[in-house]
Every structure is written in structure tokens, then in C-alpha cells.
Amino acid sequence: MKKFTIVFAFNLVMALLWGLHLQAQVSQGGTPYSIIFQLADDYQQLNLPQPDMESIRAEDLVNDATRGPAPPRMGVSVLVDRNTQNVGTWTEIPGSGKVWRLQIEVKDALALGVYYDDFYIPEGGELFLYNADKSQVLGAYTHENNPSNKLFATEFVKGDKVTLEYYQPESVQEEARINISELAYAYRFINYTFDGEREAWWCMIDVACPEGDGWENQIDGVARISIKIGYNYYWCSGSLINNTDNDRKNYFLTASHCGGSANAGDLSQWIFYFNYQATTCGGSGGGSNSKTGCVLKAKDPSQADAGSDFYLVEINGSIPGFYGVFYNGWNRTDDNSDAGNGVGIHHPAGDIKKISTYDTPLQSSTFWNGLPTHWKLFWAETENGKSIMQGGSSGSPVFDSNGLIMGDLTGGYTSNSCTNPSPAFYGKIWYSWDQNGSTPSTQLKPWLDPGNTGREKLPGVSWEEIPPTADFTADTTEPIQGDTVWFTDLSEPGILDWYWSLEGADPDTSNERNPWAIYNDTGYFDVKLKVVNADGEDTTTKVSYIHVNPLLPPDAKFTADTTAIQPGETVHFTDTSANEPTSWYWEFEGGSPSTSTLQNPAVRFNTAGAYDIKLVATNLGGSDTLVKVDYIMVGTVGTEELAEPSDFKVYPNPGTGIFVLEFAGEENGQIVLEVSDTYGKIIRRQTLENRGKTFVLDLSGKKEGIYFIKTTAGNKQVVKKVSLIK
């Protein structure tokens, strides 16, 4: 096995709030009958020898330094093998029944947990456990707690003395079987101080703080586990996890290094603690609800050394509704696009439930074993500080931004602390799905997707059956013809499938959660959405929800980078049409190409002349045409200097009939223009009033030959000769 300078996130340290009638495991509550009937404390006390703590601590020094993927020990077994038949004291209660009591002491224990290898309570019987001063009472345990395999366990009782009290009513003739096989002797990682001091580091943030807002469902699915492996005891945490049958099967995901070498008998005596958390930010913890026993379904056999460190069990029996648990959903992709931010929820050092936030994308990491088995994340600063992981957080889930589990916690660096946070490494659901081995016992897939649906993401479900409520919104309900409308699903809870009907749209159906569609036709259109979750379906139709308004036709406009060029040069045209045309048709007189459907074409003009340009711009609302006559002038431009405003250049010269006169000034006052032939006959006369810099002279209807152009401005005259060729 490879060695790393890391610390595995183990050591879930138990810290319970004790109260006289605290309900912990599934029990009926109530008060021990010795208190009700004020029985004297004259019952048997059994003193058992303390474990060899010197040897145990020496073992811990070695194991803690070299243990690899295994949690540090917090307790050891003290063998008992006693029952109601061979030990304890029975006391008759006239007119009611009888009570059996036994106190067991193991010196200097911080707490004692009781384990049974034959546990059976007849209907009507009640079992209680309490500490020396009766400030902590567990029970009553009844016939509803009877395990099918006879193995059972009850929670730790504070101190080095625990009393068991069994009440048998007169109406019950059947004998109980309460055989105590061993005690869990807790000697470290147990904290019963409730004056504000906790085992968790100071930077940890309660789930009741604002950081927990919006994560209530995910919080309800997370629990801690009292782990028994052989004759040793440990703590870890994890989460209930949903499967594609959505049948609320009690699958629970934790880390393989937490399960270690636990056998089926050990698993039968694991205890799962739900709802151990503060009710206010910075407050103390309340009671917890617990379940005993589970069955292993699948695991990473390498315990993270060559895999993703997952451990999937099924908790025995049913979880009562009043626990209010949530079966968390999962994301089994290797894609971090939904994991740019999220949280980890855990029980650091066995303390009340905490929440840690990340706000940078999860990174795929090969750090742990050289394989892409883990996500790496960095913790973020939030309103109440920077909550991180700690020894005791192992097996806890990390959630993506949609509240889906993406992995279970393996650990981080040994240097991890509140002032020097380590990145955290979570075994990927993606890898755990089917890559730790080829059999069902090494894969999540057969258990979390029993119907082989192929789903990559699955929402969680509440303990309570809640049919869905369909709802949605659109980014606009007044689109213009041709616009795209984006729809946002608002349905809840735990939607599995979406069925959209989008009247008048393209496409007109969708199974996406948040689809888009294009509306090309005008009018009013309905939108219908049907949603399905684990508990039913619902449909909503919003009538005439989308009103598509007509699109205005284009207003065709264009420009050119130049309008006067020499033969063989290229002109670049730019469409400047208003109202967003979607197609264009150009005609270029004298150009190459002569037509184009590009929005902004480039055209070469090889022959001298003056040429028209035509643009037809079109959209869903219609089309518009613009023709610019003699817009492009191609030919030789005179190089003479223009001495005064009435002076001009003329081109092309020679020309085929269209000549451009370019004057010296933009505004030249009144100019008289005369054109005459070689015989002096005036063939055209006109007055140009405040004209612009250029003027187009059309002689295309005249005969080929030489012509003279004269301009007169006041007492200034300019004459130029042009050649007309056909």
C-alpha cells in the first residue's frame, strides 16, 4: 500500500445532549418504573475489570502513526455475557408487574455502550438504560426494536456506570431475552461537556447558520455512525442516498476506510445518528434519532489505496417518519461544470452537524493513489468564517451546486488546521459507480440504478411522499418574430422528467429541464409542461402565454469603403440596414461578381464607367430594396490642380457616356454648365445651384466624338475636353 503524508478524516467523536427523556434510538420514551414507583436502589452492581489501558495506549501510539486507511480507535470491548436469567435483581410491583435491574461498572470509562447478542422484548415489555445520577435516560426499547438476527446495541451512557432496567407487566407471561455480550469501553474521543466547549475546531460552522440556508434537505440526509469492528469502536459519518427506483430504500453511503474489516455481525450493531445538530447558529445540539444495524451492499475493497473509498450499506428496518430524513440525490458524472460551488456536510470530531463551503470548481485528482479516483477541493471564506474538514468528517458527502452528492470524504494533509486548511479529497461517485471492480459487491451501479436506466444525475427524495407541482417561467412572453425564448422550470420537488409542449415554436416539444425555442409566426401561443417525480406527476398549461409580435421589415441601407476607383480595384460594401435583416441580395452593375447573398460582400470592377448598386434586405417581416444610381465611378481621374471653386476634373476620360465632374469645393455657389460639340453647337446648358463636390453628366445618348464642357462662375470660366467612345 502506498504511503502518503495525509490524515484520514476519521475520529467521529460522540457528543450527545443528555436529558431525562431524551429519545435517541427508535424508542417509545417514558420514565423508568423504578422512578415512577420510587423503588429503592437495592439491586445488583456488577463490577468488571478495567481494560489494560497501558497496553491499549501503547497500541494506539503505534496504530495512530502507521494505521493507513483505518479510523483511530476510541473504545474497546469489555466482555460481559450476562442476561436477565443469571444476573441482576427482580423487584415485584404489586398490581403492576415486576422490574429487573442491573448496574454494570467499569472503572474510569468516559462512557459505556451496551451490546447484545440475543435481544428480544415481548410485546408490553420495556427496557431503559441510564447513568448513575439518572440525568441521562435511554428508552423505552420495546418489541418494535427486536432485530431479526438477535444482535442489537444501545447508545453510550455517560460515565463508568450504566444501569439496565426491564419492566414486565403482569399481563405479559413471555420472558424477555436480554443477553449482554459486551460493553464498549470509551476511553477517548468522547466529550460530554455541554458548556460551549466542543471537540470540533473553532472554525467549524453549524448547519443552523446562514451557510446552511437552502441546504436543508441535504442536511437531513447526513448522519454519523457508531462503528463496531471486532472488539474495537470508531466513529464516521455519511449520508442516505437515493436510487433510481425512488423507493426510499435505506441505502447509506460512507467511506470504505470507515468500514474496514467489519463483518456482518459487527454491521448489525452499527448505530446511525440522525438530526444531531444545533437549532440556532452557534447554539448547542439537541437530541438525535438513531437506527441500529445495517447490511453491506458494496465497497471499494482497497479502502482508497487503489479505488474511490466508498462503502454502501442498507440500514435495517424502516426509518420513522418523524426523523424527517432525506435521501440525497447524486451526480455520477466526471464533469465539474455543476461543481463550481457547493458544500460538504459532516460531523467533525463527532460534534453537532457542520457545513463547509467551496466556491471554486472541484478538481479531478490522482493524488491519493495515482488514479483519477478523487475530487480535490479548496474551502471558501463565508459569512461565519472558513469551515473546513476535521478528523471525524470521513465518509461525509460533498454536494454540487444542485445539491447532488459527487463523492464521499477520504481525507486531507496532516497539516490541516483552521489556520492552515488542507484541500479535501472526496472519492468520486463517478469512479465508485462501476470502476472499483466488476461485481455488484464492488460497484454502486447495481444498487443505485437497479433498473439500469442509465441516469447520470438523480434528485433526492424526502421521507414523505410529495407529488410534484408543475410551474415555469420564460425570459420573455412578448418576443418579436424570429426571437428565441428560454424557459425555466420552477417545478418541485425532485423532478425526474419534463414534457414540454410549445405551441407555435420550433421545436414544439422538449424533454429538457430548461428548454429554448424559436417563434417564427406571429400570434398568441399556449405552453404546457408535465413533470414527473418519484411520487406522481402534475401538468400546467399557460394559455396564450407567449405573444409573438410582428417583426418590422428591414430599411435597406449600405455604404462602400470607396465610390471612385480605377479599373481592376475592389470595393467593400457594408450592410447598414435597420430592423435586423436575415438575408441579403445584391446586384453590382459592372462588378465581379455581379450578384451576392453575403451581408458584406467585396466586388471588383474591371471596366471604366459609372455603375448602379442594388440591395434587397429581407427578414421575417418582409423586404426592402435600395438602388444607388451611378454609385461606383470607375476610370481615370485627372491629376491637374484645381485652382478655384468653379474648376473641375472630369472622369472617366475617355468614357462611354457617363462622366463625373469633380469640383474644387463642396459648395460652389451658382455655376453655369455648357456642353458643346466640335462645331461649337451647345447641346446642353444648365445652372447648378449650390451644388456638391461632384456632378454626374450623362452623355450616353450622344454620338461618339469630342465634346467640350465649360463652366462659368461669375466672370470665371473653365473649359475641359472629353472623348465619348462607343
pLDDT tens digits, one per residue of 34-45? 999 999 999 999
Is-contact 333 458, C-beta < 8 A? no
C-alpha cell at 112: 459505556
Kindly state whether residue 498 falls inside one of the protein's structural domains: yes
pLDDT band at 636 (very low <50, low <70, confident <90, very high): low
Kindly state whether residue 198 falls inside one of the protein's structural domains: no
Q: Do both 589 and 706 map to the same domain?
A: no
Kindly state whether residue 77 falls inside one of the protein's structural domains: yes
C-alpha cell at 337: 461544470
Kindly state whether residue 514 falls inside one of the protein's structural domains: yes
Q: Do both 300 and 347 map to the same domain?
A: yes
pLDDT band at 196 (very low <50, low <70, confident <90, very high): very low
Kindly state whether residue 664 falls inside one of the protein's structural domains: yes
Q: Do both 577 and 680 map to the same domain?
A: no
Q: Do both 353 and 225 map to the same domain?
A: yes
What pLDDT score does 569 carry?
93
Q: What CATH number is attached to the domain comprising 432?
A: 2.40.10.10
Where is the domain boundary, 483, 516, 548?
548
Phi, psi of 248 (to 5 degrees): 60, 35
Between 340 and 663, residue with greater pLDDT:
340
Q: Do both 247 and 163 map to the same domain?
A: no
Percent over 90 (pLDDT), the chain: 72
Rounded average pLDDT over 547-562:
94
Where is the domain boundary, 503, 525, 548?
548
Q: Do both 510 and 566 map to the same domain?
A: no
Is-contact 142 166, C-beta < 8 A? no
Rounded average pLDDT over 48-56:
96
**H, E, C per residue of 145-170:** HCCCCCCEEEEEEECCEEEEEEEEEC
Q: What CATH number is attached to the domain comprising 580?
A: 2.60.40.10
Q: Do both 150 and 260 map to the same domain?
A: no
Q: Do both 542 and 571 map to the same domain?
A: no
Q: Do both 262 and 136 map to the same domain?
A: no
Q: Do both 531 and 563 map to the same domain?
A: no
Q: What is the mean pLDDT of the chain?
A: 89
| Catalytic one of 266, 300, 305, 309 | 309
The whole-angstrom separation of Cα 449 and Cα 445 is 5
- The domain containing residue 720 runs over which residues? 648-724
| Catalytic one of 181, 394, 396, 510 | 394
Q: Range with the lowest mean pLDDT among 58-72, 82-96, 342-356, 384-398?
A: 58-72
Q: Is 237 a catalytic residue?
A: no
Judged against a pLDDT cut of 60, whether residue 13 lies above it is answered with no
Q: Do both 688 and 720 map to the same domain?
A: yes
The whole-angstrom separation of Cα 680 and Cα 692 is 28
Long-range contacts, stretch 414-422, CB < 8 angstroms, 24+ apart: 414/5, 414/6, 414/7, 416/7, 416/388, 416/389, 416/390, 417/201, 418/201, 418/202, 418/203, 418/386, 418/388, 421/378, 421/379, 421/386, 421/388, 422/388, 422/389
Q: Is 195 a catalytic residue?
A: no
Kindly state whether residue 5 falls inside one of the protein's structural domains: no
**pTM score, whole prediction:** 0.75
Q: Is 257 a catalytic residue?
A: yes
- The type of residue at 42 is D
Where is the domain boundary, 604, 634, 664?
634
Judged against a pLDDT cut of 50, whether residue 510 lies above it is answered with yes
Q: Do both 254 and 165 map to the same domain?
A: no
How many domains is the chain partitioned into structurally?
Answer: 5
Kindly state whether residue 458 falls inside one of the protein's structural domains: no
What pLDDT score does 641 carry?
59
Strands, sheet with 682-689, edge to edge from the N-terminal-most edge strand:
682-689, 670-677, 705-713, 716-724
| Catalytic one of 27, 181, 220, 257 | 257
Four-point Cα dihedral 28, 34, 37, 40, nearest 10: -170
Is-contact 77 56, C-beta < 8 A? no
The whole-angstrom separation of Cα 183 and Cα 436 is 36
What pLDDT score does 696 carry?
85
Kindly state whether residue 460 falls inside one of the protein's structural domains: no
C-alpha cell at 673: 454648365
The whole-angstrom separation of Cα 14 and Cα 691 is 97
- The type of residue at 447 is W
